[in-house]
Structure 1
Amino acid sequence: MQCNKYAPAIIVGKLPLKHIQIVQAPSDSEYFNQLLPAIQGASKERQGQQLLSSLSRYSADREAEIERICNSNHQGFVASVNQLLHVRDGAVDLASDILSLNQSIQASTEKLAEQKKALVESRAVRQNIDEATQALQDCLEVLRLANQVHDLLSRKSHYSALRALDELQNVHLKEVTHYKIADLIQKSVPATKKLIADAVMADLNTWLFRIRETSQFLGEMAFYHTEQRRTRQKDRAETSPYLTNFKLNSAIELVSDEADEFDVLDNDDVQVDFTPLFECLHIHNALGQTEKFRAQYAATRRQQKELLLPASITLNDDEGTTLNELLEGISGFAIVERVTIRKAPDLRSPADVDELWDSMCQQAIALVSKALHEVTNAELLLKIKGIIALFIETMDSWDYPVSSLDGFLLRLFEKYAELLKRRFSDDFQEIVSTDDYMPMPINKLDEYDKVVNVSWYTPDKPRNEIRFPCVLPFSQMYPLCCIDIRNFLNQFYFFSNDHFQHPKVIDETLKASLDELLSNSVCRLLVERLNSQYLGQIVQILINLEHFEVACQELEPLLAAARSTASVGAGVSLNATDAFRSNKKTAEKRIFELVNSKIDDLIGTAEYDWMAPTLEREPSSYMQTLTRYLSNIMNSVLLGLPTEIKELIYFDALSHAATMILSLPLASDVKQINPNGVAALAKDVQYLTEFVDTLGNPILRENLDELQQTIALMQSDNADEFYDISTRNKKYGRVDALQGPHLLEKLTHSVQTPASVRSDKFQTLSSRFGMKS
C-alpha cells in the first residue's frame, strides 16, 4: 500500500493516553492546525477521554484516506513494469546483431593489419639508422669542443677556453643529454673550470710578483717626477712671485703643470700592463667567483705588503738609502693600488686600499721612530725630513691621506730642534769659555767687513775713516756668537722648506729655543764669569752684555718679519733682551765692588799721624796711588765702556773714596787730632779735588762736598758756627749733624813736642796693655 507523503504526523491508536506517540509532522503549522480543534474541544469538555476519542477518529480517517490513494494507483504501476520487460528483450536482440557485425569487420581487417605492421617495422629500422648517425655526429662535435677547450687552455687563451666550455655546456651538451658521454663531459666541467681558474691565477701571481719587484722602481720614478714638478714650480715662482703662495699639489700648481703630464706606469722606462688582472677578474666574474677572487686578491696584496716592509731600518747612512728604498717601495705599491681601484672599481674598494695605506704608513712611522735614536746629527735629520716630505708630496698627488705623516714630521721637527739647540748650546759654551775677554783687534779691511756684516754692530766712524789696525769694543766671542745665531735661525727655517704644515710651531719653537740659548748658554755663563777678580775681564763682559742686548733688540724685528702668515699679527719679544739688560746692572755692580775694594785697599794703607808735630809738605802716598789708579782705569780698563757707565762708575768710586777718607778721622782709635793732622788730611783732599777737576765733569766734584766742608769745619777758628743752624746750612750744609760734633771733640789746638808725643804714646800703650806708669 502506497503512503502519501502528506500522511498525518500523529497516529493515535487505541492505547491509553499515556502511550500515545507523537511523530513530528512535516510542518509545525500543519500539525497544530489539525490538532488545534481537538485541543480546543478537549478544553471545552471536562475530561481527557474526549480528546483521546477525537484523536482516534482523526487517525482512522487518515488511514482510510491513505488506503484509498494506494488502491487507485496500483494498475498503472503494473503496466509500466510490463512495458520495461518488453524493451529489455529488444535490447538483447540488438546486442547480438552488433557482435555478429563486429566479428565480420575484424576478420576483414586482419590481412590489412599484417601489411601495415611490415611497413612500420621497415620505417623504424631506417629511423634508427638515421638517429644513430646523428647521435654519432653530435657526440663527435661534443668531443671536438671538449678537446678545443683544453687546446685553448694550453695556448693560455683562458677567456676563449671559458667561452668554448660555456658553449659546450649550455648548447651542445643539451643535444646529447641522453648519451653517457654527456654525463662524462658534464662531470668534467667543474674540473675544467678549476683548471681555467688556476691557470689564470697562476698568470696573475706571476704579474703580481713582477709588480712587487718593480714597486720600488715605480716609487723612484714617482719621486723623480715630484722633484721635477718642484723645480718647475720654483721656476714659475721666480717668474711670477704671486705663484710663491701656492704649494705643490695645489689647484694652481696642477693646472700650471698640465702641459708636462707624466704617466708613472707607462713611460720610456717602465710599462705596467693590467691585462692579466682584468682577464683574471673577468674570468672569475664569468665563473661566478667574483667575491672569492676579491678576497683572494686582497689577501695576496696584504701578504705582499708585509713582504715589502723590513723588520728594521737604519738611518745613519748619509745618503738615506735605506729610508729611500722603504718609501719608494711603499709609494710604488700604493700607486698600483690607486690605479687598480680606478681601472677596476669592482675589484678593490676604497676602504680596503685606505686600510692598506694606513697600515703601511703606521709601520713605516714605527720603523723610522725605532731607528731615530741613532740620529744625533741635525743635518742628517734634515735629509730624513726631506725624503719623507718628498714621499708625502708624491702620495698627496695620488689622493692618499697624509695627515699621519704630517704629524710625524712634527715629531721629527721636535727632535731636530732639540739637536740644533744642543749643538749650538755646546758651541756657545765653548765660545764663551775660550774667549780672551779683550777688545777684538782688526788688522785688515776685509776682516773688518766680515765682522761688521755678521754682527749687529753700528761703528762710530764711517768705513772709509777706519784706520788699521783698529780695535772693536767687544771681544771675539760676540761676532762668533752672532754667526752662530744667524746659522741657528737659518737651519731652523730649513726644516720648513718643501713641505711642512706647521709653520707656527717653527716660529714658536725658534723663539723659545733662541731665548733659552741666549739666556742660559751665553748670558748665564757671562754672569758666572763676573766672579773674576780681574777688572778688565768684568768690564769686557759688561761691554759684551751691552752688545748682546743690542743684538737681541735687532733680532726681535727680524724674527717678526721671518714669521709665517699663520703667526703674523703678534710681535716678538725675547726674554733674553731683559736678561742681558738686567745683568748689565749686575756687571756694573761687580765693577763697583772691584773698584771700591781697590779703593778700600788703597785708603787702608793711609798712615795719618793725627798728632803730628810737624806739617806735611806733600800729599800722602796712598792718595797719589789712588788718583793714579782712578786715572789709569779711566784711560785703559774703562775706556771701552759707554760714557754714561764710565761716569757712573767714577761717580760711585769718588763717592765711596770720600766716605772712606772721612771715616779715617772718625775711627774709634783716633782720640785726638791736632792742626797738623787736619792739615795733612786737608792737603790730601785738596789733591783729590784737583784730580777730579781735571776730569772736566762738575758733577763729580759734588761727591767731595761733604769731605771738603768737614775739613773746613775742622780748620775753622770759630767752631761754634756749626751749632748755629742758619750758619751751618750755609757753610756746612753737607756735614753730618752727628759726625761734625764728634770730630770737633777730637780736635786739639795745641801741637805737642816730640818728647811729649812719645810720653803720650807710652801712656797709650801702657793703658792698652794694662801697665802702670
Structure 2
Amino acid sequence: MSERDRLPQSHVTHIDHLLTEIESSDGPLSPTLRAVYENNLDEEFNQKLQNRVKTYDKDIERLCNYHYHGFIESVSELLRVKTDVRNLKSNITGSNLALQESGKQLLTKCEDLLRLRKIQRNIIVAIEALQKCLPVLELYAKLNEQMEKKRFYPALKTLELLEHQHLPHIDSYRFTEMMKECIPVITKNIELASKSDLQDFLENIRHKSELIGSMSMRETETHSSLNIVHDKATENSEEEEKSVQDLVDFSPLYRCLHTHTVLGSREYFEMYYREQRENQARLVLQPQGIQNESLDSYRSYFHQIVGFFVVENTVLHTTRGLVTRNTIQLLWDLALQKITSVVRVQFLHCKDSKTILDVKELMVCFCNTLAGYGFSVSKLHDILMEASDAYNDKLLTEWKDKFLIIFQSDNYTPITVNDNKDYWRNIEEFPFKPSKDITRKDSYPMTLPFSSLVLNIYKEIKRFIVTSVKFADNLNLSLTDIDDKLRKSTNDLLTKTLTDVMDEFVEKPFLHLSQLTQLSHNTVYLEKACGNLEQYISSITGAVSDGIHVTRLYGTSTFSDARQKAEDRIYILLNKKLDEFFDLANYDWTATEGRHRPSGYMDDLLAYLRDALSTLISLPNNVAISACISSCKHICERLKGFLKSDEIKQINVNGLKHFKEDLQVCLEFAKAPLPHVNSISLTTTFLEVEQILDLIINEDWSSFFTDFNQPTSKYQCVSVTLLLSLLEKIKEGEGRKTIFSFKRADRDRKKFYENLIRRLKPMCPSNVTEPDRSVES
C-alpha cells in the first residue's frame, strides 16, 4: 500500500492545493510553508514536491527532443547569411572610395567659394559697422583726452552725447556694452576727481587764510588810527598788494559746482561744501599756541578767522546759491561763540598788561575788518569792555610791584636841593609850593619836607593814568565814559593797590620811628596832590567837568587812612620800645629800707620818650600829643602790671615806696611831657596807681572807708580788686616776719591787714552789685 493510500483523503487534497498555490503564486511562500508546518505535513509535502519536480523534468526533456532539428537548421542558415553580408560590405566600401576620389576636387572648390562669399559678406557688414562705430570711438577717444586733461565739464558733455545719441544705435556690439558699463565708472571718476579738486581747493584756502586775513586787517589799519605790530614774515611781502582772487584760484570750485550741476547732484555738492567749510571753521576757531601768550599766536588766530570769512564772502558774491547769507551767518554765530569764550579766558590769563593791550588792538582791527564785510561785532565789543577790567587788574598788579620797590628803596629822609636847577630836576611836575623864594641863591641848600618817595609815587600814578587810558583808544567810547573809567581805575589804584602796599609796608618790622615819621609826612603831600591828579585826568580825557556827575578821586581818604595807620604804628613802636625798658626793671618788693631815688631804667625810659616825642612835634593832627597820651597810658598799664603780677608773692611798704619813686618821676613827666607844649596834662593817667600807693603807704583807711564810692572821695579811683591783691601780698610779707619774731607789734600788724582784707572783700565788685554806703571806718 503506497504512502498516498495511507494518508487520509483530506490531507492529500490539501497538499495538492498547496503545491498548486506555490506553482501559480508570484508572492511570498511563507504563508504556504507555515500552513505545511502547522499541520505537521512536512514529510508528506516534501515527498509530494519531489514527485512533482520529477514529473516536470520529464516534460522538459520530451519538449527539447522534439525541437532540436529545427534549431540546427536555423544556425546553418545564419552562417550562410554572414558570408553574404561580408561580401556586400566589401563592395560598398569600394564604391565609396571611388565616389570620394571623384568628388574631392569639386568639394575643394565649393569650400573655397563659400569661404570667399563669407569674407565678402563680413567685409560689407564691417564697413557698415565701422561707419556707425567710428563717431562713437572718436567721441570716446575725445572723452579720454578730456579726462586726462581734467576737463571734467566738457567730458561730461561728451559723455552725455555719447550715451544718449550714439550708443543706442550700436547697442548690438560687445564694446558698446563695455562702454555702457564704463559710463557710470567714468561719471563716478569725474565726480571723485572733482571732489579731489575741491579738497585741494579747500586745503589751499586753509593755508592762505592767514595771509588773506593779514592783508584785509592791514588794509583796515591803513584807514584807521590803529598801530599794530605785524608779523615780519609778511610785513614786506609783495602778495599784500594782491586781491583775494589773485591769491586764491577759485576755478576748481566753479568747475566742481558746474560738474555736480550737470550730474544732477548740485544739492549734494552744496551740502558737502558747507559741511567741509564748517569743519574748517571749527578747526580755525580752535586756538593753537595762544596759551603761550605769544602775540604772533594771537595775530595768526585772528588772521585765519578773517581770511576764512573773506573767502566765504567772495564765494557768496561769485556763485549762485553755493553759500547764502544765512549759512554764513550761522558760521559767524558759531565763530562769535567760540571767539568770545577763547578771548575771555585768554584775557584773564594774560601775564602782563602789554599783551592784553596788543591783543586788544588786534581785536579792534579784527572787528573793524569784519564789520566792513557786514558782520555784527557788537558781542566782541562787549568782550573788549570786559577785557578793560582785566587790563586794569594787570596794571594794578604791575603797579603794586612798582610801589613796593619805591617804598623799599626810599631812604625816608627829606630831599635836599642845592640850587634852582637841582630843585626843578627833583620836583618836575609835582605840585609843591616851598615857603622860600626858590629864585634866590641864599635859599639854598633847601630841605624839602618830604622824601623822594612822594615824587616817585606821584610819577607812577601819572604813568598809570597814561597807561590805563590807552585801552580806551579806538573803542568808540564817549569822553565822559573814558573819563569815568579812568577815574575808577585810578581810584582802584589808590584805594586798593597803594593802600595795600602802604598797609603791608607799615607793618614791616625793620621800620624805625624816624622812617614812620617821614612816611606820615609824605602822606600829607601826596594827599594834597590828589587835586592835581584829577585835573591831569581831565586834561587827558578832554571831558568837560560839571562838578556833579564826575567821579571824584578817593586819594584824600586813602592817604589819610595810611597816615593814621602809620601813626598807629608809631604808637605801637613807642610802646614796644617802652616794653624793652620795662623788661629791665628789677624791684626789691621786700626791701628792708626805703630808697629815695627812681630806678635807672625809668630815667632812661623817660629820656628816650622825650627825644622820641620831640621828633613827632612837626607832624600834623597833634600826633605827638596822641603819642604822648598813648605812651603814658602804656606806662601806667605796665606799672599796674607789676602790682598785679602773680609772680610777686610778698610785698612790704618799703618796696611800695621804692615803686612810688618811679611813679613820681612819671607824674612829673606827665605835667609837661613836650617842650613848648603846655596844653595837656597827663597826671590823671596815673591817678589810680598814685591813690592806691598813697592809701597803703599813708594808711589813710578811715578816709577810704568813710568816703567810699562818694564823689568827694580822694581815693575814688582805687580798684578794690587791686587793693585786695596788694594787701594779700603785704599780709604774706608780714606773716613771714611773725614766724621768726615774737614781737607783739608784728603780730598785731598782721592781724591788722587780715581785718582790712576781711572788710574789703564784701566791697569787691565781684561780691556786690551796688556800693555799700553803710560801711563805717
Partners of 1:269 and 1:167 in 2: how far apart? 34
The answer to whether the aligner puts 1:149 opposite 2:149 as a matched pair is no
The answer to whether the aligner puts 1:285 opposite 2:261 as a matched pair is yes
The answer to whether the aligner puts 1:339 opposite 2:314 as a matched pair is yes
Match of 1:541?
519
The answer to whether the aligner puts 1:491 opposite 2:463 as a matched pair is no
The Cα of 1:563 is off from its aligned counterpart by 5.4
Q: 1:739 to 1:474 in 2, by over 3 A?
A: farther
The answer to whether the aligner puts 1:219 opposite 2:213 as a matched pair is yes
Q: Contact 1:523–1:545 at 8 Å: present in 2 too?
A: no
The answer to whether the aligner puts 1:351 opposite 2:329 as a matched pair is no
Note the 1:188-587 alignment, pairs <5 A: 188-231=182-225, 266-267=242-243, 271-308=247-284, 312-316=288-292, 320-363=295-338, 375-443=350-418, 445-461=420-436, 463-465=438-440, 467-499=443-475, 506-507=485-486, 509-517=488-496, 520-521=499-500, 524-525=503-504, 534=513, 536-559=514-537, 562=540, 570-581=549-560
Post-superposition CA distance 1:421-445 (Å, at most 9, x none): 1222233234334433321223465
Partners of 2:159 and 2:565 in 1: how far apart? 100
Q: Contact 1:560–1:572 at 8 Å: present in 2 too?
A: no
Q: Contact 1:417–1:509 at 8 Å: present in 2 too?
A: no
Q: Contact 2:413–2:518 at 8 Å: present in 1 too?
A: yes
Q: 1:501 to 1:278 in 2, by over 3 A?
A: farther
Q: 1:148 to 1:564 in 2, by over 3 A?
A: farther
Aligned AA (1:439): P
Q: 1:591 to 1:149 in 2, by over 3 A?
A: closer
Give the match's secondary structure for 2:472: coil
Q: 1:463 to 1:272 in 2, by over 3 A?
A: farther
Q: 1:703 to 1:146 in 2, by over 3 A?
A: closer
Q: 1:171 to 1:633 in 2, by over 3 A?
A: same
**Which moves more between the two structures, 373-382 or 306-315?**
306-315
Post-superposition CA distance 1:46-103 (Å, at most 9, x none): xxxxxxxxxxxxxxxxxxxxxxxxxxxxxxxxxxxxxxxxxxxxxxxxxxxxxxxxxx
Q: Contact 1:152–1:158 at 8 Å: present in 2 too?
A: yes
The Cα of 1:525 is off from its aligned counterpart by 4.9
Give the match's secondary structure for 1:230: coil
Aligned AA (1:477): L
Q: Contact 1:424–1:488 at 8 Å: present in 2 too?
A: yes
**Which moves more between the two structures, 402-411 or 294-303?**
402-411
Q: Contact 1:266–1:272 at 8 Å: present in 2 too?
A: no
Q: Contact 1:437–1:475 at 8 Å: present in 2 too?
A: yes
Match of 2:760?
none
TM-score w.r.t. the length of structure 2 is 0.52
Q: 1:392 to 1:465 in 2, by over 3 A?
A: farther
Partners of 2:273 and 2:364 in 1: how far apart? 31
Aligned AA (1:322): S
The number of residues matched between the two structures is 506
Q: Contact 1:439–1:475 at 8 Å: present in 2 too?
A: yes
| Structure 1: gaps spanning 5 or more residues | 1-128, 235-261, 602-621, 661-668, 670-683, 707-736, 743-765
Partners of 2:398 and 2:447 in 1: how far apart? 30
Q: Contact 2:487–2:553 at 8 Å: present in 1 too?
A: no
Match of 1:101?
none
Give the match's secondary structure for 2:247: coil
The Cα of 1:498 is off from its aligned counterpart by 4.0
Q: Contact 2:287–2:301 at 8 Å: present in 1 too?
A: no
Q: 1:595 to 1:315 in 2, by over 3 A?
A: closer
The Cα of 1:369 is off from its aligned counterpart by 6.1
The Cα of 1:293 is off from its aligned counterpart by 0.7
The Cα of 1:291 is off from its aligned counterpart by 0.7
Q: 1:154 to 1:516 in 2, by over 3 A?
A: same
Partners of 2:200 and 2:545 in 1: how far apart? 54
Partners of 2:576 and 2:351 in 1: how far apart? 48
Partners of 2:370 and 2:427 in 1: how far apart? 46
The Cα of 1:182 is off from its aligned counterpart by 7.0
**Which moves more between the two structures, 429-438 or 326-335?**
429-438
Match of 1:36?
none
Q: 1:179 to 1:567 in 2, by over 3 A?
A: farther
RMSD: 5.6
Post-superposition CA distance 1:687-743 (Å, at most 9, x none): 99xx99xx8xxxx88889x9xxxxxxxxxxxxxxxxxxxxxxxxxxxxxx9899x9x
Q: Contact 1:438–1:474 at 8 Å: present in 2 too?
A: yes
Q: Contact 1:265–1:271 at 8 Å: present in 2 too?
A: no
Post-superposition CA distance 1:317-347 (Å, at most 9, x none): 66x2223223322222222112111222410
Give the match's secondary structure for 1:495: helix
Q: Contact 1:559–1:572 at 8 Å: present in 2 too?
A: no
Partners of 1:738 and 1:598 in 2: how far apart? 38
Q: 1:207 to 1:447 in 2, by over 3 A?
A: farther
Aligned AA (2:325): P
Q: 1:471 to 1:279 in 2, by over 3 A?
A: same
Q: 1:588 to 1:380 in 2, by over 3 A?
A: closer
Note the 1:691-770 alignment, pairs <5 A: none
Partners of 2:566 and 2:182 in 1: how far apart? 102
Partners of 1:269 and 1:290 in 2: how far apart? 23
Q: 1:435 to 1:150 in 2, by over 3 A?
A: same
Partners of 1:263 and 1:440 in 2: how far apart? 60
Aligned AA (2:552): S
The Cα of 1:573 is off from its aligned counterpart by 2.0
Q: 1:162 to 1:577 in 2, by over 3 A?
A: same
| Structure 2: gaps spanning 5 or more residues | 1-122, 228-237, 582-601, 636-652, 654-667, 684-710, 717-744, 751-777
Q: 1:450 to 1:226 in 2, by over 3 A?
A: farther
Partners of 1:412 and 1:586 in 2: how far apart? 34
TM-score w.r.t. the length of structure 1 is 0.52
Aligned AA (1:300): Q
Q: 1:311 to 1:266 in 2, by over 3 A?
A: closer
Match of 1:24?
none
Note the 1:44-193 alignment, pairs <5 A: 137-172=131-166, 176=169, 188-193=182-187
Partners of 2:202 and 2:354 in 1: how far apart? 39
Post-superposition CA distance 1:163-220 (Å, at most 9, x none): 333344455557x387668776555444333333333333332222222222222222
Q: 1:626 to 1:444 in 2, by over 3 A?
A: same
Q: Contact 1:389–1:500 at 8 Å: present in 2 too?
A: no
Q: 1:592 to 1:186 in 2, by over 3 A?
A: closer
Post-superposition CA distance 1:104-148 (Å, at most 9, x none): xxxxxxxxxxxxxxxxxxxxxxxxx99998886454333323332
The Cα of 1:576 is off from its aligned counterpart by 3.6
Q: Contact 1:530–1:587 at 8 Å: present in 2 too?
A: no
